[in-house]
Structure 1
Amino acid sequence: MLQNLVLAAAEEGAEHEDSVLVPPLAELIVGLLAFGLLVGFFFWKIYPQIRKTYAERAERIEGGLNRAERAEREAQALLEQYRSQLAEARSEAARIREDAQAQGRQIVEELRTQVQQEVAEIRERADAALVAERAQVVASVRREIGEIALELATRIVGRELENDTRQRQLVDDFIAGLDEAPQPDAVPAGPGV
């Protein structure tokens, strides 16, 4: 069809050689040949370069998008990992805090038990010491009372009494009788006595 138009234009050009709109046939053919060569050169050399550059750019853009998506996924995964580690650390800290509190309570309870045992031991030793001291005081008082009673009896009788063993037995029986007799103004000797 293009050829028919070119031929028709050429025929008209032959009739109207002076027409400004229709170029002479030789110029038209040379122009078409030059245009064809230019289009051929374009598709032979330039178009592959344009396609290659376009493909590289599209690949670079697509690769950049893929890298951006991958980086975003990695960042999201790292964020989730960080959050899970943070949650684990918080739960571990809570567990450690609870363990420390439990150990603290256990230590306080152990110390309380130990102190109570020590207090009980001190009381027992003090009670034993009081009982022993009371026994010593009672024995000492009995000896003194016996000696005083013998001295008084010697003064009353006017002569020294003989048979020291018998005298001491008599005094001890007298003092034992005093211990068993109720005393209205008796002062308690202390706890556990």
Structure 2
Amino acid sequence: MLNALVTVAAEEGDQNLLLPAAYDIIWSAVCFVIIALVIILIALPRLNKVLDARSAAIEGNIEKADEAQRQAEAALVEYTQQLADARREAGEIREGARADGKKIVDEARSTAVAEADRIAASAQTQIEAERQSAMVSLRQDVGSIALDLAGNVIGETMNEDAKARAVVDRFLADLEASEKAAK
């Protein structure tokens, strides 16, 4: 095959093997211009439109992402503030509850002390009344026993008269006075 090409080339001896024929250059230039016009007039505008739409979408998404980021940061700041407020409020409530608890305990303690004092005073009054009652009863019993004993000693019955009663009362008063002095 190489021989055939060399033979054809030798027959056309006046043409350069590196340069194509003029009609090939013209037809190639016409095809090139048509393809270039189709690309420039039809393909490039569509490609630019698609690229512009894509860049606009990307920019819109970037703006939306930035806005979402700003909203998230604002929400985080608000959440942090609310959390701090809630913690502060919980601390105040806790302190108030402690103060109320202490106040209730103090009130209960003072009420208990007052009730204990009242009961002690009532018991003291009752004890004093019973002591006085016992003293009166004891004076009468001791007085009558003393008169009976005195009557038995002297052999006569002693009547409970005012003089005998005064002697018994004076004796008991002297006994109480000596008892208080001993304490």
Question: Taking structure 1 as the reference length, what is the TM-score of the superposition?
Answer: 0.74
Could you tell me whether the CA contact under 8 Å between 1:149 and 1:171 is conserved in 2? no
The residue type paired with residue 174 of structure 1 is V
* 2:108 maps to 1:125: no
Partner of 2:166: 173
User: Which residue of 1 is the match for residue 178 of structure 2?
Assistant: 184
Distance 1:135 1:171 in 2: 21
Which structure has the higher relative contact order (CA within 8 Å, separation 6+)? Answer: 1
Alpha carbons 2:151, 2:158 under 8 Å: kept: yes
Which of 57, 64, 85 is the matching residue for 2:82? 85
Given that 1:154 and 1:160 are in contact with CA atoms closer than 8 Å, whether structure 2 keeps it comes out as: yes
State the distance in 2 between where 1:124 and 1:183 align.
26
Q: What is the TM-score when the length of structure 2 is the normalising length?
A: 0.78
**Residue in 1 that maps onto 2:61:** 64
> 1:178/1:161 Cα in 2 relative to 1: closer, same or farther (>3 Å)?
closer
Q: Percent identity over the alignment?
A: 29
Secondary structure of the structure 1 residue equivalent to 2:177? coil
Contact 2:148 2:158 in 1 (8 A): no
Counterpart mapping for 1:21-170 below 5 A: 21-156=18-153, 158-161=155-158, 167=161, 169-170=162-163
Unaligned stretches of 5+ residues in structure 2: 1-12
Aligned 8 A contact 1:17 1:24 in 2:
no
> CA RMSD for the aligned pairs?
2.6
CA distance in 1, matches of 2:34, 2:14: 27
Question: 1:51, CA displacement in angstroms?
Answer: 0.7
- Matched letter for residue 149 of structure 2: L
Considering fraction of residues, name the structure with more helix.
2
Aligned residues: 169
Structure 1: how far apart are the matches of 2:14 and 2:58? 56
Contact 2:139 2:169 in 1 (8 A): no
